[in-house]
């Protein structure tokens, strides 16, 4: 009886008065529970009592993974359109190239982004898929921290694809906060991985995904659902007490199911035993990672004898971003596990991003007067939601 009780991780036993309650006026926050730091840690500890070895964890993992699929209403075989990539505006830079790319996910819905490729690398190479986080102006694909990581990863020898969130950049077929944004963004991540692994130069055994904040959520969700992801780098997102402040993260019931309740720590742990680095800081909801989230996930990796594949870099004096020191930690981890050449971006033993040339948003845009959005594109929230039915 005790084992059954623990296996469903009944957070409802915690006193309601102690929980940080979701705002009833924010439908995107209703599905996840938001805890104080102390109660988030307590709830995570209770969850951990349900598994003591690999077999009991994998039973729990299967329940969580199915809960994500059911909560997002993900079909077993999504009705994706043929990719038929649109690629244009190839620019040859110092050690890499960049071009503007679009392809269909669901029929009539286009994923938009930029493809960065290394120069001077022969044979099959690694690849990194880069979802991004939220920015006030919905320009996250164009900002400095996004361009820097894509350029540096490409200079290291990886093929890199960065793609827009719903409503961001060139992805203006619907609003970012449509009710099933989490479902569509997850389908888009799967389809973006299809595109990346379809490239003849990509080694399918050396594929990583890395994003920050909301892109961190996309990182661990995709890693949880798709075994083609071999290395995971979620940045400033894995938290026991915070579930993501947007409909695209916690707007569908993936954490609270009829059979169980879970959290983003357990979802991130579904990466095990694949290599993962959790990058955290002292200025957001990852402030307790070294003492709460990381030990919990490291214990799970221990069930596989794979504790050498899980790392945490914690930057106690930093805030919520994918800044230089966080990028440096990601580069070193990716170089180690994807067999990339860190020397290509180092000077005197230090990461050197000074050769990176940032482009203007207009240079990176996929759709413009010369390259209009395809005529079959479905536009409007209701029309896009209809695609998801």
Nearest CA to 28 among 185, 220, 217, 243? 243
DSSP symbols for 283-298: TSTTTTTTTTHHHHHH
| CATH at residue 298 | 3.40.50.1820
Tell me whether residue 358 is in a domain: yes
What total number of domains does the chain contain?
1
What the block records as the tokens of 70 is: 């059911």
35 to each of 11, 128, 243, how far by Cα in Å? Answer: 10, 33, 9
Give rounded-to-5 percent helix, strand, coil for the chain.
35, 20, 45
Tell me whether residue 239 is in a domain: yes
Provide the residue range defining the domain that includes 97: 86-363
Query: In terms of DSSP bridges, do strands 159-163 and 202-212 run parallel, antiparallel, or are they unpaired?
Result: unpaired
Nearest CA to 340 among 96, 100, 87? 96
Q: Is the pLDDT at 6 greater than 60, yes or no?
A: no
Tell me whether residue 136 is in a domain: yes
Nearest CA to 132 among 154, 117, 147, 118? 147
Predicted local distance difference test score (pLDDT) of residue 33:
52
- In degrees and rounded to multiples of 5, residue 120 shows phi and psi of 85, 20
Whole-model pTM: value is 0.92
Cα separation, 67 vs 62, in Å, equals 8
With bands split at pLDDT 50, 70 and 90, how would you rate the model's confidence at 134? very high
Tell me whether residue 258 is in a domain: yes
Average pLDDT of the segment spanning 302-310: 98
Cβ atoms within 10 Å, residue 79: 9
Cα separation, 129 vs 223, in Å, equals 11
3-state secondary structure 343-371: HHHEECCEECCCCCCCCCHHHHCCCCCCC
Within 13 Å, how many C-alpha atoms sit on residue 76's CB side? Answer: 0
Predicted local distance difference test score (pLDDT) of residue 142:
98
The residues with which 59 forms a beta bridge, in sequence order, are none
Cα separation, 283 vs 212, in Å, equals 14
Average pLDDT of the segment spanning 97-117: 98
Predicted local distance difference test score (pLDDT) of residue 229:
98
Is the Cβ–Cβ distance between 265 and 356 less than 8 Å?
Answer: no
Tell me whether residue 27 is in a domain: no
Tell me whether residue 283 is in a domain: yes
| pLDDT, averaged across the chain | 91
Cα separation, 275 vs 233, in Å, equals 9
Cα separation, 150 vs 140, in Å, equals 13
The residues with which 46 forms a beta bridge, in sequence order, are none
Average pLDDT of the segment spanning 313-327: 97
Is the Cβ–Cβ distance between 115 and 87 less than 8 Å?
Answer: yes
Maximal CA-CA distance, the chain: 66
Answer with the residue of higher pLDDT: 257 or 25.
257
Tell me whether residue 159 is in a domain: yes
Over residues 173-182, the pLDDT tens digits come to 999 999 999 9
DSSP state of 63: H
Tell me whether residue 210 is in a domain: yes
What the block records as the tokens of 242 is: 């915070």
Nearest CA to 357 among 89, 96, 169? 96
Over residues 359-370, the pLDDT tens digits come to 999 999 999 999
Predicted local distance difference test score (pLDDT) of residue 266:
98
């Amino acid at each position: 009886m005790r084992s059954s009780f623990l296996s469903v991780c009944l957070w409802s036993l915690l006193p309601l008065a102690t929980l940080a309650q979701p705002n009833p006026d924010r439908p995107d926050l209703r599905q996840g529970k938001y805890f104080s730091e102390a109660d988030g840690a307590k709830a995570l500890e209770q969850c951990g009592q349900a598994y003591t070895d690999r077999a009991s964890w994998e039973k729990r993992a299967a329940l969580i993974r199915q809960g994500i699929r059911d909560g997002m209403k993900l079909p077993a075989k999504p009705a994706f359109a043929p990719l038929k990539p649109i690629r244009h505006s190839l620019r040859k830079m110092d050690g890499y190239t960049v071009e503007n790319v679009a392809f269909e996910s669901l029929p009539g819905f286009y994923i938009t982004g930029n493809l960065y490729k290394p120069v001077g690398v022969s044979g099959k190479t690694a690849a990194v898929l880069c979802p991004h986080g939220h920015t006030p102006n919905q320009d996250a694909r164009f900002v400095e921290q996004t361009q820097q990581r894509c350029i540096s990863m490409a200079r290291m020898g990886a093929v890199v694809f960065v793609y827009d969130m719903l409503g961001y950049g060139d992805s203006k077929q619907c609003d970012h906060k449509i009710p099933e944004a989490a479902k569509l963004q997850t389908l888009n991540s799967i389809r973006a991985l299809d595109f990346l692994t379809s490239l003849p130069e990509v080694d399918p055994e050396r594929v990583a995904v890395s994003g920050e904040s909301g892109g961190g959520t996309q990182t661990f969700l995709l890693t949880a659902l798709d075994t083609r992801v071999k290395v995971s780098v979620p940045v400033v997102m894995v938290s026991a007490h915070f579930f993501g402040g947007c409909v695209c993260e916690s707007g569908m019931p993936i954490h609270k199911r009829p059979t169980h309740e879970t959290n983003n720590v357990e979802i991130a742990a579904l990466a095990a035993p694949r290599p993962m680095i959790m990058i955290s800081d002292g200025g957001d909801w990852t402030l307790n990672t070294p003492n709460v989230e990381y030990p919990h996930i490291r214990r799970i990796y221990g069930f596989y004898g794979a504790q050498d594949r899980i790392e945490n870099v914690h930057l106690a004096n930093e805030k919520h971003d994918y800044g230089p020191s966080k990028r440096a930690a990601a580069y070193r981890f990716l170089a180690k596990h994807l067999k990339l050449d860190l020397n290509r971006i180092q000077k005197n033993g230090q990461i050197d991003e000074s050769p990176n040339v940032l482009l203007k948003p207009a240079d990176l845009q996929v759709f413009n007067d010369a390259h209009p959005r395809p005529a079959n594109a479905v536009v409007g929230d209701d029309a896009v939601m209809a695609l998801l039915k």
